[in-house]
Structure 1
Amino acid sequence: MASKIWSGRFGGGVLVLALVILGAAYAFKAGGQSDMAGSAPVAPLALTSGSFKDGDTMPQKLTCDGLNISPDLQWLSAPSDTKSFAIVMDDPDAPLGFTHWIAYNIPPDTRDVAEGASTHNKRFDHAAEGVNSFGDIGYGGPCPPSGPPHHYVFHVYALDVNPALPPGQARDQLAASVRGHVLAEGRITGLYGR
């Protein structure tokens, strides 16, 4: 009887509350809030790719249905006091978010990353890579379930520190060490669906 009263009086309210909290969390992520930069405003970093144009479909070779290689990325206008760069690729359309690539300790004179610099079997030279949501170190390309295309956002951060973290860190570990140290951020978004 007590469980019937609980589910009748409170169950629906608890479910609605849970959905509101999840919706707010998704809206925060989808709105482009950066867990790396925190709430501090940062300068824009011009970010482009020779592999795809911002807002276009990513070529299959960059996905799990192809060669699963990282795209070409180039950036300009980094602040002069940049000490290192970090790259994060994520999928805000996944229900809980999904991190596909984390690279950090990238030297401050770097302005591009060649296509295929990171794969499941090859590490990105002159940088450390973290653990993605697949549980692997390195790049893990788009691999969405069937349905509408997902948005894959590449962030490049210019940092005023070199976090000097060892390889294999999780996204939250990187975020904790660079929060408050992001000078500029560039973003580019590719789409992929099945």
Structure 2
Amino acid sequence: MERVTVTSPVFTGGGAIPAAYTCDGNDHNPPLHFSGVPKAARSLALIVDDPDAPAGTWVHWVVWNISPEGMIGENSVPAGATEGRNSWQRNRYGGPCPPSGTHRYYFKLYALDTIFALGPTTTAAELERVMAGHVIGRGELMGTYRRR
């Protein structure tokens, strides 16, 4: 499996996510850039989650059928991509909003050898199940957030 690099111009790996991209700000998704995507990739999928949530891993965003040549701009969904259901039961980005303490947020990118015909009620767990056997590259960016 090839290693994909995920970066953002607004925070560094392991660094703090700016409040503008959280429930304390505009709640917009941060811009994300990808490099090292395998040439054989037909699509990308992104799952953003918080493993530090009190009730278990909380999913903030689920997106698939992202163009392998693309990136994700601030407050946008790439053309042709589909958003799935997050833990708030919404089909959109929901920014960090920890009830207490500092939480880690993982932006996990998967390079896939296929394009999926999945509906908008698809959850991260369901996406992970159908991706099994189709992941040819992977990368992640972790940022932290603590409410003031």
Using the size of structure 1 for normalisation, the TM-score is 0.72
Output the CA distance in 1 between the equivalents of 2:4 and 2:62.
18
In the alignment, residue 108 of structure 2 is paired with which amino acid?
H
Aligned to 1:108: 68
List structure 1 segments (4+ residues) > 6 angstroms apart after TM superposition.
none
Aligned to 1:130: 84
Aligned to 1:175: 128
Q: CA deviation at 1:107?
A: 2.1
Output the CA distance in 2 between the equivalents of 1:107 and 1:188.
19
What whole-Å deviation, never above 9, does each CA across 1:33-55 have from its counterpart, x for those lacking one?
xxxxxxxxx32101110121111
**Residues 30-179 of structure 1 correspond to what in structure 2 (within 5 A)?**
42-95=1-54, 96-110=56-70, 112-118=71-77, 124-146=78-100, 148-179=101-132
- Higher RCO (C-alpha under 8 Å, 6+ residues apart): 2
Contact 1:154 1:187 in 2 (8 A): yes
- Consecutive unaligned residues in structure 2, runs of 5 or more: none
Q: CA deviation at 1:77?
A: 1.0
Output the CA distance in 2 between the equivalents of 1:155 and 1:176.
15
3-state SS, counterpart of residue 125 of structure 2: helix
What whole-Å deviation, never above 9, does each CA across 1:82-130 have from its counterpart, x for those lacking one?
01000100001113110000000112322x1111115xxxxx5321001
Counting strand residues as a fraction of each chain, which structure ranks higher?
Answer: 2
Output the CA distance in 1 between the equivalents of 2:26 and 2:19.
8
Output the CA distance in 2 between the equivalents of 1:88 and 1:54.
16
Using the size of structure 2 for normalisation, the TM-score is 0.93
3-state SS, counterpart of residue 113 of structure 1: coil
Alignment RMSD: 1.2
Q: CA deviation at 1:171?
A: 1.2
- What is the percentage of aligned positions where both structures have the same residue? 39
Output the CA distance in 1 between the equivalents of 2:87 and 2:79.
21
Does 1:193 find its partner at 2:139? no
Aligned residues: 146
3-state SS, counterpart of residue 20 of structure 2: helix
